[in-house]
Structure 1
Amino acid sequence: MSLPHRLAIIDVESTGAHPVRDRITEIAILRVEAGEVVARWESLVAPGQSIPPLIEQVTGITDAMVADAPPFEAVADTVAALLEGCVFVAHSARFDYAFIKNAFTRIGRTFEAPVLCTVKLSRALFPEHHRHGLDALIERHQLVCEARHRAMGDVEVLWQFVRQVEAGFPPEALARAAERAMKAPVLPPGLPEGVLEAVPDVPGLYLFHATEAPPANGRRDQPLFVGRAQSLRARVREHFAPNVRKGRDAELVARVKRVEWIETAGELDTSLQELELLRAFRPPYNRAQEPAEEAFALRLLANRRRPPIYDKVPIAGTDPADWAGLYGVFRNRREADNLLRELAMLYRLCPRRLGLEGGSGPCTAHATRRCAGVCAGRESIAEHDARLAGGLAGVGTRPWPWAGAVHVVEHQPASGRRRHHVFDRWCFLGSAADEASAATLAATAPRAFDVDIWRLFCRWLAVPAHLEQLAALSAREI
């Protein structure tokens, strides 16, 4: 026999995907010796915490079903006896192994075992295929599953797969594949077993923390870093790949002791939540955020003879419906000056009159004919400022293209998350779980301009396909 002599084929169902935070709800084990099943055992397990509705939908295990089940401590001796002396076999094995190891750790016991991952075994034996999840194996090898996402149902599938590959491959080839499937990954320093395997393959945000446990009060603590990804699993693993650790990235990885993640409904949901986290916690390994509260627009001062010829009008938190005679949207003085320099080049405006250059008399640009000469009496103030107003007219927020509020509907099938993001006159009014709640936001939430949200929403709207996700809500009085 080319596979190890003693195998314990195991599957764990749980309250969620995090092997430290979540708890086991069901365990099934087949103990196999010399190719024969010598023990078969399964049990529901009281997790000591509620089962989320989405997990209930997937597994069919409810809070009522585990209410009278034994806690892990009561079945720990049975589990240990079934696993003793065996190779721990599971699909995405480090995930199940982490739940079992952490469960023993919580009751003051240790657990160690060699691990064989059937995902890796399938990849080694069938490299021509790209999908090696359990559903893919069931379809490809015509395996029979009586109860998918129940522990014993999934264990029986793995046992069928093990018997098929033993019958279909020479012992030497199977032994080599098993060796590869049992190769332990290089664990990042400080991270608990199984965390990287638990990260889902869905869009969202990930947070790296320097502490092993979150605060006891249930609040979020400051992360070291907040990142975003279309595939959380792939992106998080990239951070911990040995060949990419250098400089500041290596310093970050060395400090990480906890990984959290937030599954999102789509690109806009990701951007909005990312902005909220960056502002709330200012993670030290993210680029510093400039305060949006200092955003301003320009109001030209008619017939002003000397600079400044405009006022900086604060617009953060204001309702754009109340704006009148304002030009541009600027986060800081640097952005405003850069735009004024660009307009000066395009329209032969005077940098001295624009407040970009000090002194008196003709400006430096007039000598090279880049200024029409308001500073040298060659044109009137009214002529100069009319060109300035014309140039400014094309910058800032464009007219709101809808009659009232709109909502963007995002849905992520993999996680089941659905969000309705409500906007009106470039202001974000909030997110809701359904259209009725979105309509309530549109009717009641105040408009408060935010330069960062305005910019990210404009970027999102620039993708034509995104417009299919957008729909109007009832208009309200301005």
Structure 2
Amino acid sequence: MQDRIAVIDFETTGMSPAQNARPTEIGVAIIEDGRIVERYQSLMNAGAWIPPFIEQLTGISNAMVRSAPPVAKVMGEVADFVGSTPLLAHNAAFDAKFWDAELGLLRRRRSQEFACSLLLARRLLPEAPSHKLGNLNRWASLPDTGKAHRALADAEMAANLTLLLASRLRERYGVAEVSHAYLCGLQKLSAAKVRALLKA
């Protein structure tokens, strides 16, 4: 994959900004020329309480975010770091909601589309027993990037998965140019249409 893509992952206090959930950590892995070339990671303090079950899942405690930089500072930094680079996340519907909500609080707006490695994996790796990120990572024998449910580890996992999907498109299906725009188009098709397209 030649395209420069920013693969992002949020850890949060809940499922949706619509339910007053806020981010606690963000990780970004930028891929270009078939590898991860840059990274960004930070905890952030949005003044939101982390429920015990989320703390258990992520290992991110209320004490950790209390001493973290303010959410506005982190989101401003990460938005500048990403710039107009195309975006991708695993289950992008989740991360895009937080990205848009937090940028909105800074009176900023993204201009680029999100690709989704979850949707793409369902279409291109139908034989995988599970399409959860950690399970896919183990099933495909991708590099161990660290503790799951930490933002940078998950962003790197999704980045490695995206590179695997791109190589499968090239090697198995002969797709010469695997761009971010191509991935965004592919994820909008049904699994049956993707199979038909790639056999053509």
TM-score, normalisation: structure 1: 0.36
% identical equivalent positions: 34
CA contact (8 A) 1:90 1:116 kept: yes
Q: Which amino acid aligns with 1:163?
A: L
Which consecutive residues of structure 2, in runs of 5 or more, have no partner in the other structure?
190-200
Post-superposition shift, 1:73? 1.0
* Match status 1:179 vs 2:182: no
Residue-by-residue CA offset, 1:236-260 (whole Å, 9 max, x unaligned): xxxxxxxxxxxxxxxxxxxxxxxxx
In the alignment, the residues of structure 1 paired with residue 50 and residue 75 of structure 2 have an alpha-carbon distance, to the nearest angstrom, of 21
* Structure 2 SS opposite 1:169: helix
CA contact (8 A) 2:35 2:163 kept: no
* Match status 1:15 vs 2:21: no
With over 3 angstroms needed to count, the CA separation of the structure-2 counterparts of 1:136 and 1:174, relative to structure 1, is farther
CA contact (8 A) 1:121 1:180 kept: yes
With over 3 angstroms needed to count, the CA separation of the structure-2 counterparts of 1:59 and 1:174, relative to structure 1, is farther
CA contact (8 A) 1:90 1:96 kept: yes
CA contact (8 A) 1:28 1:152 kept: yes
* Structure 2 SS opposite 1:127: coil
**Structure 1 equivalent of residue 79 of structure 2:** 80
In the alignment, the residues of structure 2 paired with residue 28 and residue 42 of structure 1 have an alpha-carbon distance, to the nearest angstrom, of 4
Post-superposition shift, 1:174? 7.8
CA contact (8 A) 2:128 2:136 kept: no
**Structure 1 equivalent of residue 146 of structure 2:** 146
Residue-by-residue CA offset, 1:179-236 (whole Å, 9 max, x unaligned): 222x49xxxxxxxxxxxxxxxxxxxxxxxxxxxxxxxxxxxxxxxxxxxxxxxxxxxx
Q: Which amino acid aligns with 1:172?
A: V
* Structure 2 SS opposite 1:161: helix
**Structure 2 equivalent of residue 98 of structure 1:** 97
CA contact (8 A) 2:84 2:111 kept: no
* Structure 1 SS opposite 2:96: helix
Which consecutive residues of structure 1, in runs of 5 or more, have no partner in the other structure?
185-478
**Structure 2 equivalent of residue 337 of structure 1:** none
User: Superposition pairs for residues 346-425 of structure 1, below 5 Å?
Assistant: none
With over 3 angstroms needed to count, the CA separation of the structure-2 counterparts of 1:95 and 1:174, relative to structure 1, is farther
Post-superposition shift, 1:102? 0.1
**Structure 2 equivalent of residue 253 of structure 1:** none
CA contact (8 A) 2:115 2:183 kept: no
**Structure 1 equivalent of residue 193 of structure 2:** none
In the alignment, the residues of structure 1 paired with residue 48 and residue 25 of structure 2 have an alpha-carbon distance, to the nearest angstrom, of 13
**Structure 2 equivalent of residue 44 of structure 1:** 43
Q: Which amino acid aligns with 1:180?
A: L
Post-superposition shift, 1:130? 5.6
Q: Which amino acid aligns with 2:54?
A: I
In the alignment, the residues of structure 2 paired with residue 27 and residue 17 of structure 1 have an alpha-carbon distance, to the nearest angstrom, of 15
**Structure 2 equivalent of residue 118 of structure 1:** 117
**Structure 1 equivalent of residue 157 of structure 2:** 157
Q: Which amino acid aligns with 1:158?
A: A
Post-superposition shift, 1:112? 3.3
Report 1 or 2 for greater relative contact order, CA contacts < 8 Å, sequence distance ≥ 6. Answer: 2
In the alignment, the residues of structure 2 paired with residue 37 and residue 127 of structure 1 have an alpha-carbon distance, to the nearest angstrom, of 25
Residue-by-residue CA offset, 1:346-401 (whole Å, 9 max, x unaligned): xxxxxxxxxxxxxxxxxxxxxxxxxxxxxxxxxxxxxxxxxxxxxxxxxxxxxxxx
In the alignment, the residues of structure 1 paired with residue 50 and residue 111 of structure 2 have an alpha-carbon distance, to the nearest angstrom, of 28
Higher helix share goes to which structure? 2
**Structure 1 equivalent of residue 194 of structure 2:** none
**Structure 2 equivalent of residue 430 of structure 1:** none
User: Superposition pairs for residues 175-324 of structure 1, below 5 Å?
Assistant: 175=178, 178-181=184-187, 183=188
CA-based RMSD of the aligned residues comes to: 2.2
* Structure 1 SS opposite 2:126: coil
CA contact (8 A) 1:6 1:85 kept: no
